[in-house]
Amino acid sequence: MNSVPSFDLLIIGGGPGGYVAAIRAAQLGMSAAVVEREHLGGICLNWGCIPTKALLHSAEIYHDMQNASAYGIEVKGVGFDIKKIVERSRTISKQLNKGIGHLLKKNKVTVIDGSARLDGPGKIQVKTTDGKVSSLSARNIILATGARARILPGLEPDGKLVWSYREALVADTVPKSLLVVGSGAIGIEFASFFSTLGSKVTVVEALDRVLPVEDEEISALAAKAFRAQGMEIHVSATVKSLVKSKNSVAAAVEHNGKTLDIKADRVIVAAGIVGNTENLGLEGTKVKVERTHIVTDQWCRTGEPGVYAIGDVAGPPWLAHKASHEGIICVEKIAGLNGVHPLDISRIPGCTYCRPQVASIGLSENKAKEKGYQVKIGRFPFAANGKAMALGETEGMVKTVFDAKTGELLGAHMIGAGVTELIQGYAVAMGLETTEAELMQTVFPHPTLSEMMHESALDAFGRAIHF
């Protein structure tokens, strides 16, 4: 009788949560295996975070070259090849995918290509890519199956005229006109990419502002910038129907009690995501699913003993770095390490790589007030920063939210060039429970964009020097 392969930890899903959890488990001396049905690295590395940033950087270079004369540089005949832009993006993803495989091999993590489902306490059933079915056992199982694009009735992607993020990532053409449904990070990044390459972009958002998870003041500045770039934006609006013709789509959009008729060559639907909880064998277990996401406690435990869930399948915020951090917390708790801290999602930075970039962490001004805080708000504009002027990037602002009583940094919100890199400074500050006193006493290098972070903190307490 053949014995069933057994591991200390089995992970279903090899995305940024799953593969990081596996590596950390191996570091702690645990035998670990990852079952992945498609691509190591998950959606983020293969069809999300990384390839979109590659596309957006190509668009940024194109934009800079078009405006090179502002820097005293003459460039003629600027153009682009969308196929080569996409090819570069896909090459980067493939390179990183191989890198993840190398890391797992280096750490002696067993990788199994196939689909897996729970098959009783401490067991999973695996169907490999060649169709064979086998069983594995483990003392602990982590579900890291991620999420997928939400499909709205009547707005189903067809791969030709109506795209999800996957089709948008491998576009073979830049449409003359584009309708983007949803203005979260995914929708706005694609809107920014195609707009920069010349598409006439219209954005439709059901909520009352674009980038609705951001601070309201930042959302307003973003909307102003997008409109100045030529985007048409409709908020508090919903797409009621799409009518396809041979090479275009007619959308009926309900806005302020009226119906707008919008025609576009292509449509991108970016209206949120749903967790991948199907076909996992959750039936008959104590794993609870709410609104397509698995319910967990602060240590990523589900209701079923020995079964954990991390990343997008376990709920928002749907961010790769959140998934990775949850994976580490989960594994370290399983290993019984001392000093493991639960994840505080209020201290997770979020970034949107549009033009201008947007980044934030913690409470917005209004959220802080709703929670009962008396706040002090600091602001500092890019236009008053020497490095921003030297870069020709004077559009933007850094905003900080402090508790007026204690000086605690409650939140930080940025819009402008490079802010997706700057935000980590505030993430470290919040992790160290920094108050305004420490930020004011910190020496920031000159000339840098980071000086605005200092000035914003100073401004909150009436001490800004350069504004």
We report the CATH number of the domain holding residue 420 as 3.30.390.30
The tens digit of pLDDT for each residue in 431-460 reads: 999 999 999 999 999 999 999 999 999 999
Q: How many separate domains does the chain show?
A: 3
Q: Which of 271, 295, 313 is the last residue of a domain?
A: 271
Same domain (yes/no): 12, 114? yes
User: 94 CB contacts (<8 Å, ≥6 apart)?
Assistant: none
Average pLDDT over residues 3-15: 93
For residue 1, being part of any structural domain is answered with no
pLDDT at 263 over 90: yes
The tens digit of pLDDT for each residue in 303-329 reads: 999 999 999 999 999 999 999 999 999
Same domain (yes/no): 144, 27? yes
For residue 405, being part of any structural domain is answered with yes
Total length of the chain: 467
Q: What whole-number distance in Å separates Cα of residue 315 and Cα of residue 273?
A: 10
For residue 280, being part of any structural domain is answered with yes
Same domain (yes/no): 40, 113? yes
Same domain (yes/no): 33, 168? no
Contact at 8 Å (CB) between 422 and 453? yes
Same domain (yes/no): 311, 209? no
Which amino acid is it at 322?
Answer: K
Same domain (yes/no): 16, 84? yes
Contact at 8 Å (CB) between 288 and 297? no
Average pLDDT over residues 144-161: 93
Q: What whole-number distance in Å separates Cα of residue 30 and Cα of residue 110?
A: 12
pLDDT at 1 over 80: no
Between 18-27 and 82-106, two packed helices, what is the crossing angle to 10 degrees? Answer: 30
Q: Is the dihedral of CA 184, 185, 188, 190 positive or negative?
A: negative
For residue 435, being part of any structural domain is answered with yes
pLDDT at 418 over 80: yes
Q: What are phi and psi of 301, to 5 degrees?
A: -80, 140
Same domain (yes/no): 246, 327? no
Same domain (yes/no): 313, 364? no
- The count of other CB atoms within 10 Å of the CB of residue 310 is 33
Percent with pLDDT over 70 in the chain: 100
Count how many Cα atoms sit within 13 Å of the Cα of residue 343 in the half-sphere of its side chain: 26
Average pLDDT over residues 239-260: 94
- Centroid of chain to Cα 2: 44
For residue 154, being part of any structural domain is answered with no
CATH of the domain at 143: 3.50.50.60
Same domain (yes/no): 231, 377? no
- The count of other CB atoms within 10 Å of the CB of residue 119 is 15
Query: What radius of gyration do the chain's Cα atoms show?
Result: 24
Same domain (yes/no): 405, 452? yes
Contact at 8 Å (CB) between 328 and 22? no
What is the predicted pLDDT for the residue at 229? 97
Structure tokens at 397: 């602002």
Alpha helices in 107-180 (DSSP H): 165-169
The tens digit of pLDDT for each residue in 24-39 reads: 999 999 999 999 998 8
Q: Which residues of 219-258 are buried (b: 16+ CB within 10 A; e: fewer)?
A: bebbbebbeebebebbbebebeebeeeeebbebebbeeee
pLDDT level of residue 182 (50, 70, 90 thresholds):
very high
For residue 347, being part of any structural domain is answered with no
Same domain (yes/no): 261, 290? no
In 64-197, beta strands by DSSP E: 110-118, 123-128, 133-143, 147-149, 162-163, 177-181
- DSSP codes of every residue in 376-433: EEEEEEGGG-HHHHHHT----EEEEEEETTT-BEEEEEEESTTHHHHHHHHHHHHHTT
| Among 413, 446, 454, 466, the one annotated catalytic | 446
The tens digit of pLDDT for each residue in 69-108 reads: 999 999 999 999 999 999 999 999 999 999 999 999 999 9
pLDDT at 171 over 60: yes
Alpha-carbon distances of 173 from 162, 292, 406, rounded to whole Å:
13, 34, 54
For residue 156, being part of any structural domain is answered with no
Q: What are phi and psi of 135, to 5 degrees?
A: -120, 150
Percent with pLDDT over 90 in the chain: 94
Range of the domain at 300: 6-148+274-334
Provide the mean pLDDT of the chain. 96
Average pLDDT over residues 184-196: 97
For residue 348, being part of any structural domain is answered with no
In 144-248, beta strands by DSSP E: 147-149, 162-163, 177-181, 200-204, 232-234, 237-244
Average pLDDT over residues 410-424: 98
What is the predicted pLDDT for the residue at 129? 81
Same domain (yes/no): 97, 202? no
Residue owning tokens 């997706």 = 420
Residue owning tokens 């108050």 = 435
Alpha-carbon distances of 167 from 109, 130, 164, 171, 312, rounded to whole Å:
32, 27, 6, 6, 21
Look up 446 and say whether it is catalytic: yes
pLDDT at 146 over 80: yes
pLDDT at 275 over 90: yes
What is the predicted pLDDT for the residue at 4? 79
What is the predicted pLDDT for the residue at 2? 55
Q: ω before 342 within 30° of 0 (cis)?
A: no
